[in-house]
Amino acid sequence: MSDQNPVFIPGPTNIPDRLRAAMNIQTRDHRAPDFVETFAPVLEDTKKVFKTTEGKIITFPASGTGGWEATICNTLSPGDKVLVARYGMFSHKWIDMCQRHGLDVHIVECPWGSGAPADKFEAILSADKEHAIKAVLVTHNETATGVKSDIGAVRTAMDAAAHPAMLFVDCVSSLGSMPFHMDDWGVDVAVSGSQKGFMLATGMAILAVSPKALAAMETAGLHRTFFDFRDMMKANASGGFPYTPPLQLIYGMRESLKMLFEEGLDNVYARHTRLAEGVRRAVDAWGMNLVAQSPDLYSDTVSAIYVPGGFNSNALTEHAFTKYGVSFGVGLGEMDGKAFRIGHLGSLTDAMVLSGIATIEMAMADLNYPIKLGSGVAAAQEFLRSGNDTSIKSAA
């Protein structure tokens, strides 16, 4: 089987050759002076992707899940109340982690396919006169359902309630692919990882932390050692690391930032919107429905698509992999068997996305789905060839 086939899972994403080469470096001494010269500018430049000037970038050798844990353990104490809405597998898993750490989790249950309910948050926060709620946790892009939540609206709701809780945002599958405005949205900790929008191998949790969250760190009672922000910041201040850093990922990160800035972040976002719209046109042509309930919720990095009644989405993704060697996202949690996902983030061009649509279409035809072969491809082609003059330049 060829390894040239791109993956259409919503992370880890395809690694461009340029980044594979950047990560292919011999071991170097992380206590030598040249590590300082490499690492410090990477931290500084990463701020531009989070759109923060006030925040501190903190990285750990971990996946995004480690980033969640670092966030809560550095800012909260056992028994602290946090407010979270559950509307997909990733919000669900963050809730589970908070509960296992002994936090008092106020859960707002929402249908899968909806997003963060800013209006409900406002009502709950307004009623919390004693300010028992210490943090609001939001998954910006729910990768299980292809739903993007409006973080600005959550901030507006918190402000309207005049509530001092911190705002923690999981932007693992949105950062570097969809607009993110840490400072403007008043985000206190934003959590991302190396293997999605940054197009790198998995292994680095990437966080941006506000001054308010850093102040909370001083009194936070949850235990942490490996994930202690203080040890990391103390070592980073002189360009070092409190333990062995993931050197190859740091070199990869330097090149990834270069790629994102060369294309221009706004062009990167526009490319993702265009590719996503191409996929959505195909879904519409198939007569199928997105899990995301309304256009304002549509994610530009992943589309979750309901299969027709009587079909099993996992049989479809398995067939696409077995017969064509191409991976698509399976249905997670409540979507198990009901929806498959097309990841369209990171290093992707129009032509790559068309190949993904064509492949899943063949797989659906093989399994006797009620679709017309070529209909989705044609709809995406019609959209992608119109008014598109950025794709060549942006070919990652």
Ligand X SMILES: *Cc1c(COP(=O)(O)O)cnc(C)c1O
User: With contact defined as beta carbons under 8 Å apart, do 16 and 245 qualify?
Assistant: no
Output the CA torsion sign for 141, 44, 15, 26. Answer: negative
Span from 13-21, 63-71, 128-136, 388-396 in contact with ligand X (CB under 6 A): 63-71
Question: What span, in angstroms and rounded, lies between the C-alpha atoms of 182 and 224?
Answer: 25
User: Which residue from 76, 172, 209, 250 is in contact with ligand X, where contact means CB under 6 A?
Assistant: 172
Binding of residue 139 to ligand X (CB under 6 A): yes
Nearest distance from residue 141's CB to ligand X, in Å? 6
Question: What span, in angstroms and rounded, lies between the C-alpha atoms of 137 and 85?
Answer: 8
> Residue with the closest Cβ to ligand X?
64
Closest to ligand X by CB, 6 or 197: 197
Residue type, 305: I
Span from 60-68, 115-123, 261-269, 313-321 in contact with ligand X (CB under 6 A): 60-68
Question: What span, in angstroms and rounded, lies between the C-alpha atoms of 41 and 229?
Answer: 19
Residue 353 CB neighbour total at 10 angstroms: 23
Which residues contact residue 292 at a Cβ distance below 8 angstroms, ignoring those fewer than 6 apart? 113, 145, 146, 147, 148, 298, 299, 303, 304
Q: Compose the 191-230 pattern: x for residues touching ligand X by CB under 6 A, - for all others.
A: --x-------------------------------------
Nearest distance from residue 172's CB to ligand X, in Å? 4
Nearest distance from residue 194's CB to ligand X, in Å? 9
Binding of residue 173 to ligand X (CB under 6 A): yes
Span from 62-70, 118-126, 228-236, 256-264 in contact with ligand X (CB under 6 A): 62-70
Binding of residue 64 to ligand X (CB under 6 A): yes
User: Which residue from 69, 80, 122, 170 is in contact with ligand X, where contact means CB under 6 A?
Assistant: 170
State the number of binding residues for ligand X (CB under 6 A).
Answer: 12
Question: What span, in angstroms and rounded, lies between the C-alpha atoms of 390 and 178?
Answer: 17
Subset of 286-345 contacting ligand X (CB under 6 A) = none
Binding of residue 143 to ligand X (CB under 6 A): yes
Nearest distance from residue 94's CB to ligand X, in Å? 7
List the beta bridge partners of residue 148: 141
C-alpha dihedral (368, 369, 372, 373), degrees to nearest 10:
-70
User: With contact defined as beta carbons under 8 Å apart, do 148 and 175 qualify?
Assistant: no
Closest to ligand X by CB, 114 or 141: 141
Question: What span, in angstroms and rounded, lies between the C-alpha atoms of 192 and 207?
Answer: 6
Closest to ligand X by CB, 182 or 354: 182
Closest to ligand X by CB, 91 or 381: 91
Binding of residue 87 to ligand X (CB under 6 A): no
User: Which residue from 11, 239, 278, 356 is in contact with ligand X, where contact means CB under 6 A?
Assistant: 11
Nearest distance from residue 58's CB to ligand X, in Å? 16
Residue 205 CB neighbour total at 10 angstroms: 25
Q: Where are the alpha helices (DSSP H) in the chain?
A: 17-23, 33-50, 64-75, 89-100, 118-127, 151-160, 211-217, 229-237, 247-263, 265-285, 313-324, 350-366, 375-385
Binding of residue 74 to ligand X (CB under 6 A): no
Q: Closest Cα partner for 294 from 142, 394, 146?
A: 146
Residue type, 346: G
Binding of residue 180 to ligand X (CB under 6 A): no
Closest to ligand X by CB, 201 or 270: 201
DSSP states of 337-378 as a string? TTEEEEE--SS--HHHHHHHHHHHHHHHHHTT-S--TTHHHH
Nearest distance from residue 191's CB to ligand X, in Å? 7
Closest to ligand X by CB, 65 or 273: 65
Binding of residue 145 to ligand X (CB under 6 A): no
Binding site for ligand X (CB under 6 A): 11, 63-65, 90, 139, 141, 143, 170, 172-173, 193
